[in-house]
Amino acid sequence: MKKRWLFIFTIFVPVVLLAGSDAQTDIVPRTVNFLIFIAILYYLLADQLRAFFSERTKSIQNQLDEVQKKLDESKKKMEVAKVEFENAKTIANDLVKDSISETSAIKNKVSKMYESEIALLSKNFNAKLELEMRKAKKEITIEVLNELLSDDNMAITQDNLENIVLKKVA
């Protein structure tokens, strides 16, 4: 109702005002006509413009909401990735520590094994050396006795035999 009165008022006011004057310039009637044109356009297009702008506002808001949701999802994924990264870092550090301790344990085990192997080889070498020494003493003793016994010209007493053997062995 208000719009109708405004429309009627904008049409008849210029007619009443301009009916009695013969002005040389036509700026006032043109301005009035322009205002009337704007009022008519507003009357005809106001609802459609409001609907258009409200729809546009809603679509922009929906797009903004979608972008905000994507941003929130990205932030959540980033937090999850950070947590997974920290877990992976912790696991990697644990693996490094475990590998270092396992390496030192294996090194100690191998070292002890080789030390015992070296001790065993040394013991075997000493035993073989002693056995070879005994064999050599026995062979020398047999050789000396055979020499002495084969020589018929020489008369050997028990004391002489012992001295000869001791000299040969020493």
Residue-wise pLDDT tens digits, 10-66: 777 766 666 665 556 788 888 999 999 999 988 898 899 899 999 999 999 999 999
pTM: 0.41
Q: Per residue in 146-155, is it b (16+ CB within 10 Å) or e — as a string?
A: eeeeeeeeee
The answer for residues whose C-beta is within 8 angstroms of residue 11's C-beta and 6 or more apart is 36
Q: Where are the beta strands (DSSP E) in 4-140?
A: none
**Dihedral angle over CA of 65, 68, 72, 74, nearest 10:** 120
Residue-wise pLDDT tens digits, 109-129: 999 999 999 999 999 999 999
